[in-house]
Amino acid sequence: MSAARPATSAIASVTSRRIRITQLVALGALILFLAGAPSVVDSFTLAQILTKALWLGIAAASLIFLSSYGGMISLGQTGIYAVAGFTMANLVHAAGGKHLGWDPLAATAAGIVVATLFGVLCGAIAARSYGIYFLMITLAISVIVFYFFAQVTTLSGYGGIRSVTMPGFIGNPITNPVPLYYTALLASFFVYVGIRYLARTPFGLALQGIRDDPARMQALGYNVALHRALAFGVGAFIASIAGILSVWYTTQISPGGINVAQTINILIIAVIGGLYRLEGAWIGALVFSTIDNYSRVWMPNVGDWLGPARFESVIGVIFLVIVLASPGGLVGIWESLWDRRKRRLGPVEPSGVPATGAVDEIVDHPAAV
């Protein structure tokens, strides 16, 4: 930008002020909408679309954190959030499981701690692996967790744990979904801000260095495996929040809800939103939960190959289109439209964002995928 002529620079400054106003308006609208959603939308949409999108978004954010800042695409996030959910559900009063009768908040804290420690342990195992091997190890984590809880009947069994006791401030999420919505909203906010903050700490910067060139970081004296394992622990902490919210959302948890299909769903959400853009987690989750609920109504019956039962096909086609047309997901499409508009308005500085924007560089790097 240093070479920009003064006249061009003045135009750019007016343009960028206009853009900033647009951004502020959009941000204000978002805050207003999210805060006022319970009085705008019906309770069904609030619970089944928005609250679901918020907790699924947190689960996807844990994956996007690992992929965009650590270059690790993990399929283990479902397994980890299941550990948090099952730990919590076993500790409180419930039908099935150990039903130890702990205070729900203490059980929640215990669930998050256990899942985070489990994540660090898994990270320690997987940290030295890259690419397809990392993918397979993390997939194995999810599969092992699924079979563990399905077969250890004292902790769950296939039937799962039902009628899980809620903390007082949640109440009954089926009759009154508002408290859970705000809880999920607040959790999403802290997860988003927390990840952005972490990315700028020395740990976060070192992690991004490791993502871009582990060998060079090793040569500089960084303990690459330790950083990756700890990052996996951070991802597990985020996933465990999603795990707790998922139990509160359905008031139960069973192995059927944390199987390989759910593992893939979390990856699909991240890819649809944008695998290297944190905001994409919630956008992907919103699109996913909307299509999940409404494809069954919208979808016409065409012979045997299209109908309400074809939710997976619909989401699969969207997934393919996204992967082919915009590897940056929906946020990537949005960004390119935005850039085009700005180019039309006037010359502006390039928006290279090393943290989350350099998709091609990350994809090209052998450590990333």
Between residue 135 and residue 164, which ones bind other proteins under the rule CB under 8 A? 147, 150-151, 153, 157-160, 162-163
Decide whether 201 or 218 has the Cβ nearer to other proteins: 201
Which is nearest to 267 in space by CA: 189, 309, 322? 322
202 makes contact with other proteins (CB under 8 A): no
238 makes contact with other proteins (CB under 8 A): no
Q: Which stretch binds other proteins (CB under 8 A): 40-48, 77-85, 217-225, 263-271?
A: 40-48
For other proteins, the binding residue among 297, 324, 344, 366 (CB under 8 A) is: 297
Judge whether 104 and 92 are in contact, CB under 8 Å. yes
131 makes contact with other proteins (CB under 8 A): no
Judge whether 233 and 120 are in contact, CB under 8 Å. yes
Residue 278: its H or E element = none
Q: Which stretch binds other proteins (CB under 8 A): 4-12, 98-106, 111-119, 168-176?
A: 168-176
Radius of gyration of the chain (CA): 22
Spatial neighbors of 59 by CB under 8 A, at least 6 apart, are 77, 78, 81, 239, 242, 243, 246, 266, 269, 285
316 makes contact with other proteins (CB under 8 A): no
User: At its nearest, how many Å lie between other proteins and the CB of residue 309?
Assistant: 3
75 makes contact with other proteins (CB under 8 A): no
For other proteins, the binding residue among 6, 202, 221, 352 (CB under 8 A) is: 352
Judge whether 271 and 318 are in contact, CB under 8 Å. no
- Concatenate the DSSP letters of all residues of 184-203 into one string: HHHHHHHHHHHHHHHHHSHH
129 makes contact with other proteins (CB under 8 A): no
26 makes contact with other proteins (CB under 8 A): yes
Decide whether 42 or 344 has the Cβ nearer to other proteins: 42
- Distance of alpha carbon 262 from alpha carbon 251, whole angstroms: 18
For other proteins, the binding residue among 356, 359, 367, 368 (CB under 8 A) is: 356
* Amino acid present at 90: N
Decide whether 55 or 134 has the Cβ nearer to other proteins: 55
For other proteins, the binding residue among 357, 358, 361, 369 (CB under 8 A) is: 357
Q: What are the structure tokens assigned to 66, written together?
A: 């690992």
Q: Which stretch binds other proteins (CB under 8 A): 5-13, 77-85, 230-238, 305-313?
A: 305-313
Which is nearest to 92 in space by CA: 174, 163, 187? 163
* Amino acid present at 21: I
Judge whether 67 and 208 are in contact, CB under 8 Å. no
Binders in 41-60 for other proteins, by CB under 8 A: 41-45, 47-50
User: At its nearest, how many Å lie between other proteins and the CB of residue 58?
Assistant: 14
User: At its nearest, how many Å lie between other proteins and the CB of residue 274?
Assistant: 8
Where are the alpha helices (H) located in 131-259, listed in sequence order?
131-151, 178-200, 202-212, 214-219, 224-250
287 makes contact with other proteins (CB under 8 A): yes
Judge whether 69 and 357 are in contact, CB under 8 Å. no
| Binding characters for other proteins, 251-280, by CB under 8 A (x = yes) | xx-x-xx-------------------xxxx
Decide whether 22 or 218 has the Cβ nearer to other proteins: 22
